[in-house]
Amino acid sequence: MASYYEKVGAPTVREVVDHFYAVALDDPDLKPYFDGVDLARLKRHMVMLLCSVLGGPEVYEGRDLADAHRGMGITGEHYEKVGGVLVATLRDHGADEEVVQHVVTVLTQVRGSIVEQPAEAAG
């Protein structure tokens, strides 16, 4: 049985990451998180991370997700927005629903390592 990585393919992962950052950097809520960041380096890490999540041969060797995001003040609302951008981008690039749901599951699993500020309580 093909891995999610084999279903998607490395070129598509790179395209997804490029598109993901184009959308995120165009969003006024998300853009400040990337101020002063080495975007080329960040994209390389994101490609490795996504390939790893999808079961590819690449091994993610970046910092622990909690360490990498500590002090950024990422809100639950912004985390959900970023996850939505990633999921929409995967779908736009032809990922099947099984792959998308796997990524959603991983996003849910790592949320606590990344979000520092809980979403505002609904009024």
d(CA 27, CA 82): 10
Position 39 in a domain: yes
Kindly report, residue by residue over 82-121, the tens digit of the pLDDT. 999 999 999 999 999 999 999 999 999 999 999 987 655 4
The pair of three-digit structure tokens given for residue 81, joined into one six-digit string: 């927005």
Cβ atoms 98, 53 nearer than 8 A: no
Position 1 in a domain: no
Task: Give how far Cα 43 sits from Cα of 19, 47, 110, Å.
Answer: 10, 6, 19
Number of domains in the chain: 1
Q: Give residue 98's domain range.
A: 8-114
Position 2 in a domain: no
Position 91 in a domain: yes
Q: Residue 122's pLDDT band (boundaries 50, 70, 90)?
A: very low
Position 48 in a domain: yes
What is the C-alpha R_g of the chain?
A: 14
Position 106 in a domain: yes
Domain at 97, CATH number: 1.10.490.10
Kindly report, residue by residue over 66-75, the tens digit of the pLDDT. 898 989 999 9
Kindly report, residue by residue over 38-65, the tens digit of the pLDDT. 999 999 999 999 999 999 987 777 888 8
Position 121 in a domain: no
Position 31 in a domain: yes
Q: What is the pLDDT of residue 118?
A: 60
N-terminal to C-terminal alpha carbon distance within the chain? 47
